[in-house]
Amino acid sequence: MTHTLMNLPFHDNALEPHISKETLEYHHGKHHAGYINNLNKLIEGTKYADMNLAEVVVTSEGGIFNNAAQVYNHNFYFKGMKSETTTPSKQLVDLLNRDFGSMEAFKEVFLKTAAGLFGAGWVWLSVDGSGSLVLESFSNAGNPLLSAHTPLLTCDVWEHAYYIDYRNARPEYLEKWWGLVNWDFVSQNLEFFFESRHGFIDPCNENSDLCDYVDSVERTEHSNT
């Protein structure tokens, strides 16, 4: 399987002034594309060449894992933003109220966690096997697939996501990013979880928000450091 760079689900200037066209040109066109190219080179002639992206993420290690996870994470990140205002589904709001107290409380803890993550990494909202919402932060390329959780939303806190626009002002970037969250996508991911009760969302196909998922595989252990 050859992995391809997904098309952005919006025009490259659609997120301005919050995220600039220049940032997206570098973030998507250089960084994201670079992970794709590296991954395809690394898996050629290996068992991973026949796996979908999520399967590669949860079964690999080293360079293959780093690049596969970064492709997965960026796919999720870009699909999780939208220039138009969206609202979370009632199902999602009810669970956020149950597990975090309120939407505002969830926003506060999510942005605080993202602002405080040391170095580069990702912050995720996911759902565990019992149906509870979980806030997780991972250094480098980590994601909830490693915890057998279904991801719903992620924010990229690598500097390449915001440094052109915000320099070292990560909290300002995070506040602007929050206003771009595609709650339709997040709500759809939650609905997928309750309908399937298994598998992991893999937004790898530019024509589908939800495509391949991992059913049952033995995961490689990774340290979240």
Distance between CA 32 and CA 71 in Å, rounded?
6
* pTM (predicted TM-score): 0.89
Predicted pLDDT at 77:
98
Helices (H), 62-207: 62-79, 90-100, 103-116, 163-166, 170-178, 183-196
Predicted pLDDT at 201:
53
Q: What are the Cα distances from residue 126, in Å, to 5, 11, 96, 129?
A: 24, 27, 11, 10
Question: Given a cut of 70, is residue 82 above it in pLDDT?
Answer: yes
Q: How confident is the model at residue 200 (pLDDT cuts 50, 70, 90)?
A: low
What number of CA atoms fall less than 13 Å from residue 120's CA on the CB side?
Answer: 11
Residue scoring higher pLDDT (117 or 208) = 117
Predicted pLDDT at 59:
96
Cα dihedral across residues 128, 133, 138, 142: positive or negative: positive
Predicted pLDDT at 195:
83
Question: Given a cut of 90, is residue 34 above it in pLDDT?
Answer: yes
Q: How confident is the model at residue 194 (pLDDT cuts 50, 70, 90)?
A: confident
Distance between CA 209 and CA 203 in Å, rounded?
5
Predicted pLDDT at 217:
45
Distance between CA 118 and CA 120 in Å, rounded?
7
Q: How confident is the model at residue 196 (pLDDT cuts 50, 70, 90)?
A: confident
The pLDDT of 192-219, averaged and rounded, is 52
Q: How confident is the model at residue 165 (pLDDT cuts 50, 70, 90)?
A: very high
The CB density around residue 20, as the number of other CB atoms within 10 Å, is 17
CA 140 to chain centre: 12
Helix (H) or strand (E) holding 47: none
Domains and CATH numbers, the chain: 19-213 (3.55.40.20)
pLDDT tens, 109-149?
999 999 999 999 999 999 999 999 999 999 999 999 999 99
Q: Per this entry, what is the length of the chain?
A: 225
Predicted pLDDT at 134:
98
**What tokens appear for 25 in the block?**
């040109």
Percent of the chain scored above 90 by pLDDT?
Answer: 83
Predicted pLDDT at 205:
42
